[in-house]
Structure 1
Amino acid sequence: MNIREILERNPIIPALKNDQDLKEALESGSEIVFIIMANLMNIEDIVSKLKKEGKIVFVHADMIEGLSSSNYGVEYLVNHIDLDGIITTKHNMVAFAKKKNIPVIQRYFILDSFSFKNTVMHIRENKPDAVEILPGLMPKIIKRICNLVNLPVITGGLIDEKEDVMNALRAGAEGISTTKKELWQI
């Protein structure tokens, strides 16, 4: 799976935070979907419905209620859920996923110059398949990250207008994840 090619075809990524958004995600033109919140009782059903419609599904492993955000949690997801990849903020889970040949997007929150510096260092050390930078309303920072790493950069968080999407894409982001359903059809 080449994440960069998928993002070229699908720069807007529906991000599901509940199963009420599932219908709209299934109807969206995007072939990739991020599940950013779920629980052990509904994750299998949500992924199954998305996969049935041919969607590429990445699950935010840290945000599955009832599942430990550890290597065991990733192993459970991979062995019991038909996902295509994981999203995580945890460095150990990135290394574990890479060892198991599971595509992984590492998520970073950039709050200040210290977190920016650490983010770049961790990206270079961890070598995830792609990175997601939050919040997504920082075109200048997105551009700097894109210039410093040779990985697909996705951005998300607080993106709720078409202008936010366009600014992030102009800054170099290859994908935008958003829970804002109105933007899924751009």
Structure 2
Amino acid sequence: MNKLKEVLIENPVIAAIRNDEGLKRIVSSNANIVFILYGDILSVRDICSKLKEKGKLVFVHLDLIDGIRGDQSSVRFIKENVKADGIISTRSSNIKYANQINLFSIQRMFAIDSLSLKTGIKSIHDTNPTAVEVMPGVASKIINVLKKEIKVPIIAGGLITNKKDVIESLSAGAVAVSTTDSSLWNL
């Protein structure tokens, strides 16, 4: 069992923050894992630093940070300058490079139909991410299929708005859920 999977099992609710208000709420919450879904090349280091000071495990969604391109230099910047624990990305090249430089990698995939599911599974096998975040997270059937096809931890994200959604996603086989709903961060 990889290190990240163990941490996800112990901390199944991940705080996903989209703005400074979310940042203020997360620093005093019980959530130990945070997905940064906002910011720019100038602010992301400060955001990460505030979270790391509180002992949080921090992942930066590379595709959502203004001023950062989806290339190897950006991944290296996140590791060396921002000091995040890992990245999230939909781009296979980012996932592969993060793995090469010993940075946790979470591949985000959108499962909107059977073709995207099939393509996503192939991409996961090709890139070997540390974990996969499947969107939308309330898709129990998709989580069940992925669980049978891939061997990395699954994180359910998107549309997780209540305790029932958390329980259903975890019951379907996800090891954790990510949510911007701060009322769920202390479950």
**Mind listing any 5+ residue stretches in structure 2 that lack a counterpart?**
none
- The aligned residue for residue 84 of structure 1 is 85
- The aligned residue for residue 168 of structure 2 is 167
1:47-62 counterparts in 2 under 5 A?
47-62=48-63
| Separation in 1, partners of 2:72, 2:83 | 17
Identity, % of aligned positions:
40
Question: Normalising to structure 1: TM-score of the pair?
Answer: 0.96
What letter matches 1:78 in structure 2?
K
Task: Kindly state the Cα deviation for residue 33 of structure 1 after the two structures are TM-superposed.
Answer: 0.8
1:13 aligns with 2:14: yes
Task: Kindly state the Cα deviation for residue 156 of structure 1 after the two structures are TM-superposed.
Answer: 0.4
C-alpha deviations, 1:87-122, integer Å up to 9, x for none? 111001111111111110110001100001011111
| Separation in 2, partners of 1:185, 1:147 | 30
Task: Kindly state the Cα deviation for residue 42 of structure 1 after the two structures are TM-superposed.
Answer: 1.6
C-alpha deviations, 1:17-55, integer Å up to 9, x for none? 112111211112122111122212221111111001111
| Separation in 1, partners of 2:42, 2:73 | 17
| Separation in 1, partners of 2:32, 2:150 | 25
Task: Kindly state the Cα deviation for residue 67 of structure 1 after the two structures are TM-superposed.
Answer: 1.1
| Stretches of 4+ aligned residues off by more than 3 angstroms | none
1:131 aligns with 2:125: no
| Separation in 1, partners of 2:29, 2:124 | 30
Give 3-state SS (helix, strand or coil) of 1:38's partner.
coil
**Mind listing any 5+ residue stretches in structure 1 that lack a counterpart?**
none
What letter matches 2:51 in structure 1?
L
What letter matches 1:37 in structure 2?
Y
1:1-186 counterparts in 2 under 5 A?
2-186=3-187
Question: Normalising to structure 2: TM-score of the pair?
Answer: 0.96
